[in-house]
Amino acid sequence: MHNLSERLIKPFPIMVFAIVMGLAGLTIAYEKATLLFGLPGWTYSVLLVLVSLVFTINLAVYGLKVALHPSEVLAELHHPVKINFFSAIPISFLLLSIAYYNEVNPLLGILFWYVGTPLQFVLLLYVFSHWIRRDFDLIHANPAWFIPIVGVILIPIVGVDFTSRFVPIFFFAVGMFFWLVFFTIVLYRLIFHAPLQKKFVPTLFIFIAPPAVALIAYFRISGDVDLFAYVLYSLALFFLIVLLSMGRHFHMPRFFISWWAYTFPLAAFTIASMLLYEVTRESAFELLSIGGLALATLVIGYISFVTLQQAWRRTLLVED
């Protein structure tokens, strides 16, 4: 048991919850594709079972890490990049709440929301106070800072149906404010300071997530696709085009868990595209939806294969 704890539990990184985010995003995308494009329902069902299983395993193993190796957890909590991935835990609850809410089990979806929402808010308060209290260099600013922000913006998507109208507006406002502030800081750091470490380069794709998720949350609150909704989508599309044009920059001969940072933003963009197609029925959004779903499926499928390959070789949890 001691050897298992040292080999598996102790090095188990908080960043593994990015796997749940990517799979959950793809699951929700396939749920919408089933309704919009008539894809077979079993694809969504299989993905929902898979992401639920992965989340349960990750939560159990990381819970053991908290109990058996608290110093390792504290080290991640004080790491300038890894601290942001703690928000991937409540984000996983919130994404599962969306995945279960409409078609499978609304009560379970609401339960996930009530777990994820306060946990996300508490973590945002902790991360924000940590940023203020700690002496950070600007070089520590990175796109992973957007992860807690994305979590806050996710809250209205399900919560708008059964809470006071003020609740989703409050979280949307907080998320949008911090997104604009941190976007400015992170962009300044990327332009005028040293490049990101190679293993954190995939986190650049997180630029896509806040405006894509914000569009979905805004539509759920307002019920309308207006100028502001198009602005949000345009920003997500712009970031996607810019990042895809930088393809060579993302080539890495070695696998890192951070590769999963590619996945949720691509899924979020796909879902946002499907939302606009569902409302407007414009062919451009139909093409972007289908293209986004194909790209997200290929990327997540490939990264899943490589992740399983690394796990089989027992190199998945080797320290970067």
Provide the pLDDT for residue 140.
Answer: 75
d(C-alpha 221, C-alpha 236), whole Å: 19
Cβ proximity of 288 and 272 under 8 Å: no
Ordered by where they begin, the domains of the chain are 2-312 (1.50.10.150)
Enter the pTM of the model.
0.94
> How many helices (H) and strands (E) in the chain?
12, 0
pLDDT, tens only, 128-157: 887 777 766 777 788 988 999 999 999 999
For residue 319, pLDDT over 60 is answered with: no
Provide the pLDDT for residue 105.
Answer: 87
d(C-alpha 121, C-alpha 175), whole Å: 11
pLDDT, tens only, 182-241: 999 999 999 888 888 888 899 999 999 999 999 999 999 999 999 999 999 999 999 999
CA distances from 157 to 42, 56, 96, 151, 307 (A): 24, 23, 12, 11, 30
